[in-house]
Each structure stands twice: as structure tokens, then as C-alpha cells.
Amino acid sequence: MKSSKIAGLGYYVPKNVYTNEDLTKFMDTSDAWIQERTGIKERRFADRKGETTTTMAVSASVTAIERANISVEDVDFIIFATLSPDYYFPGSGVLLQRELKMKEVGALDIRNQCSGFIYALSIADQFIKTGMYKNILVVGSEKHSFAMDFSTRGRNVSVIFGDGAGAALIQPATDGSSGILSSHLHSDGSYAEELAMHYPGTSGGKWLENKPNWSEQELGGMFVTPEMLENGALYPYMNGQEVFKKAIVKFPEVIMEALEKNNLKKEDIDLLVPHQANLRISKFVQKSLGLKDGQVFNNIQKYGNTTAASIPIALCEAWEEGKIKDGDLVCLAAFGAGFTWGSALIRW
């Protein structure tokens, strides 16, 4: 079976920079608190009117396609990872297909949050290996800034997340030694509510407790109710400590799983590009694996946590900075909502 490789990378971040100091205008927080707990100095927020998850994905994709030396017409499948799609449905994959004026190719949206890019890459890898597709566009894009509580109530979540997009064009590897060596995917749904945007959704029955006399017509509008708005239930919820505790165990575990599968050792990793969840998590993972500073790439300081976009943005930036060379062993790893986690090992 053929293996697959990343033939082109691109990323896009919005122009609007919001420093930690800027956030203190809306909520009770401080630059010192945010930097100490997360390592974040600033993040980008999309232009409120002009930019969406899809428009950012378009910019990242155009670069990835160009760098793979193919044209838009050559792309034969799209995999789009996001938790902040333009619409509840349809997914953003079809919007990307439309905006890029692509052929009527298949477009698959996946919902694996921070692990989204690794899940998407793994799916692309399987399609390439079976010979079904030859040029798969894998995208992670997020516009978090449209659904965050920028008051003190939401500060534990809203200081962490930022907007942006990253894209990778996946092709069959031409030589026998380079490409995606393996990918490893996991989940544990018993933590589903610990990091979640519970509403809007179809689980809103609990809001009926205050509405015993609602008519059938009113019940048809249960998806979003004024109470949800008043109670801040339409914003993401995060039990930060629970996420942290699990992340620092699962990151090293899934990285070791990838290495062992390929008979490789920690020292063989040239660059680990972890999902940019929190700089403290990355440092913890680095320490527990005994990796040197130069073996781990972090850019959360500039962009915050961009969920499904964070790995392709970081990977692309690392590549642009010359930190990834042919023959290097690159490890990608992620952990996040679901909980879901995963890793991929790539011989560049």
C-alpha cells in the first residue's frame, strides 16, 4: 500500500491582534495571570463582519495547494475540521469547495475539536493508502471569537482561545521511506461535558423544567431559548483542571504509542508539534518525555489556542522557519474536548 505525505502547507491568521492587556478592558484578568497559567501573550480575532471560519480556511488552503504545485482542480477530496463552523449545518467543507470553485468533490466535516487535525490527517492517510484519492485538502479552521463570554464570568475560557486556519495538501508519497508512518486515535466520552459547548443542541430538555405549559409550537424553538442566553449556556464550558490533568497523561502516552509502533525512541524525534493547548501543558509533556527545547515547537504565545487549526498553523510556521527538513522525524500530538486525543508520526 502507498503511504501518504504532506505535499504543501499553508496558514492564515487574522490581522487583529488582541493582547492580554486588551482583554483586561472587558473582564477581570491580567497579563501576569494569563502568561503564568497559559504562556499566551496575544491572540488574533477575525474581523467580525468579513471573516469566517471558511474565509480563513480559503486563505490557508490556497497557500497549501500552491506549495504542493497543483491547482484547485486537482483536489479530489476535502476534510474540514472545526468546532466553529459558519453554519450549524451544512458543514464548512462544502463552503470551502464553493469558495475555491472546486469540482464537485466530496467534502467531509469532522468534529473532533483540538484533535480535529490529527483525526482529519489520519482519515486522509487511509484514503490515500487505498488509492481512492490523490490530492486531499485537510483543513483546520476556527473562529472562536464569535462564541466566547468576554465578561469576567467566562474568563477561564475566553483568555485562552484565538482564531486562525491551517491547511495541508496530502498526496501519495513517491519514495518508500518518507510520509505518514502511522496515526493513533483515541477518545473517552465519559468526559464529554467537561469541555463542551452544550447549547445550542438537542439536549435542551432541562430548560423545560421552568416551562411546564409550553405549547407544541414553543417546543419547536427549544434549540435556543432566552434562558440559555441569560444563563450564559450558549458559551463554551471548560473544567480546566480536569482537562489539564488528563492532557498531561494522554499526550506523552499517545506520543510513546506512535514511537513504539515504529520501533523508534524519544531521541529520534526531530520536532514535536503538539496541539497548542497551553504552554504549561507543552512544557509538562516535554519534561516528562525528556525532550530538548529544540525538539518541541510552540507558538501559542502569539496565537492562543486555535483548536483544530493549531497543529497545521504551528506545523506550517515551523516549516517556514526551516525547522523541518527532509528526512526529519516529525511527531504531531493533540488532546482536547471529547475527550479525544491522537498522534501522527511523519518522516518528512
Contact status: 29 vs ligand UT7 (CB under 6 A) = yes
Q: Enumerate the active-site residues.
A: 114, 275, 305
Contact status: 258 vs ligand UT7 (CB under 6 A) = no
In 3-state terms, what secondary structure has residue 338?
coil
Site stretch for ligand UT7 (CB under 6 A), options 62-70, 74-82, 225-233, 239-247? 239-247
Contact status: 38 vs ligand UT7 (CB under 6 A) = yes
Q: In terms of CB distance, is 126 or 152 closer to ligand UT7?
A: 152
Site stretch for ligand UT7 (CB under 6 A), options 8-16, 77-85, 152-160, 253-261? 152-160
Residues 6+ apart with CB under 8 A from 98: none
57 in Cβ contact with 164 (< 8 Å): no
Contact status: 244 vs ligand UT7 (CB under 6 A) = yes
Q: Which residue is nearest to ligand UT7 (CB)?
A: 240
Contact status: 247 vs ligand UT7 (CB under 6 A) = yes
Contact status: 159 vs ligand UT7 (CB under 6 A) = yes
Contact status: 336 vs ligand UT7 (CB under 6 A) = yes
Contact status: 278 vs ligand UT7 (CB under 6 A) = yes
Which one of residues 2, 16, 33, 147 is an interface residue with ligand UT7 (CB under 6 A)?
A: 33
Distances (CA, A) of 172 to 95, 242, 261: 26, 39, 21
Contact status: 241 vs ligand UT7 (CB under 6 A) = yes
**What DSSP letter does each residue of 7-73 carry, written as one string?**
EEEEEE--S-EEEHHHHTTTSS--HHHHHHHH---EEE---TTT--HHHHHHHHHHHHHHHTT--GG
C-alpha cell at 27: 473582564
Site stretch for ligand UT7 (CB under 6 A), options 32-40, 59-67, 72-80, 314-322? 32-40
Closest CA to 211 of 198, 202, 221: 221
**What DSSP letter does each residue of 174-204 carry, written as one string?**
SSSS-EEEEEEEEE-GGGGGGEE---SSTTG
CA 45/CA 109 separation, integer angstroms = 23
Q: Give the interface with ligand UT7 as residue ranges (CB under 6 A).
A: 29, 33-34, 37-38, 114, 155-156, 159, 195, 238, 240-241, 243-244, 247, 277-278, 281, 305, 336
